[in-house]
Structure 1
């Protein structure tokens, strides 16, 4: 196993932080020991005295970028983890010590295929930012324009890919061997995490994201998206326009510049809501560090490595949830949550009761008193209670909304996200029933129906051909099949005994009509046999009735 040394390293880090139990329970210890690797169980640091969630955070920080990002992703999953764990994992940071400039320069020149001086002048040695995947350096083009170079850390890809392989193997093992975890779909969660991380590693993907945001905000005079220079962009580097302004992390500087804090908060929120609810493509981490304020109360957004996508169907589900609360109608909300549950068995009555309680708490609440972060917390807690896993594309959206609400209130204490959200919901719901939209959906439905009609003769011919060749097969996967089979078995037994009882009654009646033949104590033998048959039929009838009564009472 090529990743065995890394698995050994991970295990030692977990043991040092008092998480050796986890190494044993996951079966990693026995695997390493069979491979001849030695685990030092006694090398436990002082962190072993801390709470389990604190120990896990420290271990993830030591394990590097992949595990830090995994922890950050899990910090968003309040549908899977209790708040004490998500709060602790949210403290994870992706900051990292800078890579020496000489190593970064090698990456830049390999990407360009030429000496850097042919493209850039005044390339700064000191990075303006250094994170776990990339670091940023300023430079100028030969025409004088200021740019920033985002460069991937050398060697990071191989290490991340090895960690992702190990996580995939681990998720498969856990899903197979730990039944109580299976419903949370660890394989699916790790696969989503793998795709997201690989997208972040490819800096050309971020450049494409920026170009898409640029198109989406074209014509918006108060929004600036940095221009990307595709001629110098590759998977290890992208080059963007440098934007000079005031960071949203510094409200005092914003105020000194004479900018309108309240207007900036409203515009910033509207930008993100447009991305989420109208475009279905959004910056997943809209914290103040990724926002720059410019003269004229304009807003620039930077860092598009992490993005979220929402299909039209998913956006409609969100609208149904929000509309259900504002209209005090819990039924569409329950339908959405059951759709998220998929094939998993859910206590529908219990879920409906919890949704009714949520609607009662928030339905009559004035918009100015509604806190979206609290509402999201209630929804995710309800999902966790009922064992429903939040769709992965919604975790980033929920994170963006919570970050947005906090940022808005930082600039305007009276800011209410629900107030800004309401017009978007109303417009979206009205648009569903606009004549143009109804016509579009009707046309799409007719098109699908015609496609189905065209395909039906061919599909039916194939079905009949398979049936003639004896190759027709039907796979049926029934949940709790053993219970179903048990009930069916008992039902068949009752029917069988009922038929036998009826046969005995009929047979006994026929036998008792015969008066000739031998006698027992002066009674014809056939009368005795018939009476015995009636008695047996009576006992069988009583057994069937009692069996049915017991089943109904249970």
Structure 2
């Protein structure tokens, strides 16, 4: 597509989307939440995907908005098969009949990026064939630019004070670009499948890598399953569904609610590689209490820093808030370790004094943070003391308060950790649908029954050591003279930044605590 065509596509989409946005803002025909959903539905393209992401942001939007936006997960109109068949031919060189004994042209699923068809290989294996919608790359590229433009414009108008639209749109673009490449998704699926081999209650469909491309993905067809979004919808209409699933398929929804959380924690903490988009349409239940996943475009990968979070979760599970406070502090110190080490290296005459001051500041932080944690986590602990009562305390509210409180102590979690918290929030909302008496603390305890802290910590450390050995280099020996001069200049800049950050920290506590002032 030429630059002129791209420009006109952008202008045309801008006019369409802006008109729909204005209509959603000024119309009074429907409830605000319905108008919000209709905007994304009518805008189509990348905006449907953005609406689907917002449907899972329980930490940003009221529940009646997220409930309405969840309808976007299953309301995408399919395109004619002839359009999708052309994409298949362009990718694999032949019509589907060449590769399959049977191919049903009626889609079994239709999403904003692709459509899925059921087929049978000549070997007799049943497969699902996922084909990207034609021209969707151009549409999404235009919508990425358009969403960024609108986010900046709305930000100037200050319509949504509590939502960082630029950050939200940037995240939407990063993740959706990954989803647009099916090769990337196929590789993710195989990694997760390998990690899950030792866990028979977790199902990851097999991927046929030799038949898959960036626009066509062929996976094992899963029969006899119940997609979670369908289960949740049926539960609202049929109060006997829970009993029916248990009797006919040996699926205990209460047990599956807990397994859903425990398995997500296993992926994050034990494997360091996790499904970061576990919304109900991407998860299914199978007979004999098994749980599986679809769509592996949005995955998270984490390093050994997850060990600090593991200790935090363990402290929460055991109501050991002293340990939680110390783990948060250890994480904060790890974030500032480079600054502290630089300060020690170049400010040797001062560092003993600052060591004493920083040690005192640590004591203050732990004492204060422990009290605040007791208040934040109180709803979860109250649930444990009143078995059978439906509290429905929101993990979104508790995790959001926890992260905000950590930030007030200069503890900023990395992006992958924030994504994990968000995944837990999504899983918590799903678990509460499956079992209204679900308790997050109980799920934490079940995880540590399977993976005690010491065992999990050993696994994390061993895997981290293996990665370090694979990537180990000597950063200095590889530098020439000019690079050494540049390296020295960078060191000076880092020292200045380290000194400034440590000074700000000490100054803050000196202003609020007399004992720190006296030590200075």
Is TM > 0.5 for Structure 1 vs Structure 2?
yes
Shift of 1:321: 3.4
Q: 1:316 to 1:253 in 2, by over 3 A?
A: same
Please name the residue that 2:321 is paired with. 328
Please name the residue that 1:155 is paired with. 135
Q: 1:312 to 1:443 in 2, by over 3 A?
A: closer
Query: 2: CA distance between counterparts of 1:61 and 1:375?
Result: 28
Report runs of 4+ in structure 1 exceeding 6 Å deviation.
178-184, 336-342, 348-353, 384-390, 438-445, 455-460, 464-467, 472-478
Q: 1:451 to 1:68 in 2, by over 3 A?
A: same
* Secondary structure of the structure 2 residue equivalent to 1:165: helix
Please name the residue that 1:283 is paired with. 275
Please name the residue that 2:19 is paired with. 12
Shift of 1:92: 3.9
What is the CA RMSD across the aligned residues, in angstroms? 4.9
Superposed CA offset, 1:248-298 (max 9, x none): 526465334251525555555443332232223223344555444545x16
Q: 1:237 to 1:382 in 2, by over 3 A?
A: same
Shift of 1:247: 1.1
Superposed CA offset, 1:37-65 (max 9, x none): xxxxxxxx444x743x5433322222114
In terms of mean alpha carbon deviation, does 5-14 or 241-250 score higher?
241-250
Please name the residue that 2:238 is paired with. none
Shift of 1:230: 1.4
Shift of 1:309: 0.9
Superposed CA offset, 1:112-144 (max 9, x none): 101322101221121111121111111111122
Q: 1:458 to 1:451 in 2, by over 3 A?
A: farther
Query: 1: CA distance between counterparts of 2:135 and 2:459?
Result: 55
Q: 1:212 to 1:90 in 2, by over 3 A?
A: same
In terms of mean alpha carbon deviation, does 158-167 or 435-444 score higher?
435-444
> Are the equivalent residues in 2 in contact too, given 1:134–1:150 (CA < 8 A)?
yes
Please name the residue that 1:528 is paired with. none
Q: 1:434 to 1:294 in 2, by over 3 A?
A: closer
Q: 1:70 to 1:380 in 2, by over 3 A?
A: same
Shift of 1:379: 2.9
Query: 1: CA distance between counterparts of 2:486 and 2:303?
Result: 34
Shift of 1:5: 2.1
Query: 2: CA distance between counterparts of 1:420 and 1:302?
Result: 19
Shift of 1:320: 4.1
Q: How many pairs were matched up?
A: 444
Query: 2: CA distance between counterparts of 1:451 and 1:372?
Result: 52
**Structure with larger RCO (C-alpha < 8 A, sep 6+):** 2
Query: 2: CA distance between counterparts of 1:70 and 1:185?
Result: 14
Superposed CA offset, 1:461-511 (max 9, x none): 5169979xxxx9899789x9xxx9xxxxxxxxxxxxxxxxxxxxxxxxxxx
In terms of mean alpha carbon deviation, does 92-101 or 127-136 score higher?
92-101
* Secondary structure of the structure 2 residue equivalent to 1:132: coil
| Structure 1 segments unaligned to the other structure (5+ residues) | 20-44, 343-347, 485-554
Query: 1: CA distance between counterparts of 2:327 and 2:159?
Result: 27
Shift of 1:233: 0.6
Please name the residue that 1:195 is paired with. 174
Superposed CA offset, 1:406-435 (max 9, x none): 555555666544323225457464247759
Query: 2: CA distance between counterparts of 1:463 and 1:91?
Result: 55
Shift of 1:225: 2.1
Q: 1:338 to 1:186 in 2, by over 3 A?
A: farther
User: Alignment partner for residue 366 of structure 1, among 356, 363, 384?
Assistant: 384
In terms of mean alpha carbon deviation, does 250-259 or 3-12 score higher?
250-259
Superposed CA offset, 1:342-380 (max 9, x none): 9xxxxx999876434224555676388697962442231
TM-score using structure 2 length:
0.68
**Is 1:355 aligned to 2:355, yes or no?**
no
* Secondary structure of the structure 2 residue equivalent to 1:257: helix
5 Å-filtered alignment, 1:101-180, equals 101-171=81-151
Query: 1: CA distance between counterparts of 2:372 and 2:385?
Result: 21
Superposed CA offset, 1:44-93 (max 9, x none): x444x743x54333222221142232233334445555666555545543
5 Å-filtered alignment, 1:288-307, equals 289-294=281-286, 297=288, 299=290, 301-307=292-298
Q: 1:265 to 1:54 in 2, by over 3 A?
A: closer
Query: 1: CA distance between counterparts of 2:211 and 2:21?
Result: 41
**Is 1:230 aligned to 2:209, yes or no?**
yes
* Secondary structure of the structure 2 residue equivalent to 1:240: strand
Larger Rg: 1
Query: 1: CA distance between counterparts of 2:273 and 2:454?
Result: 21
> Are the equivalent residues in 2 in contact too, given 1:122–1:139 (CA < 8 A)?
yes
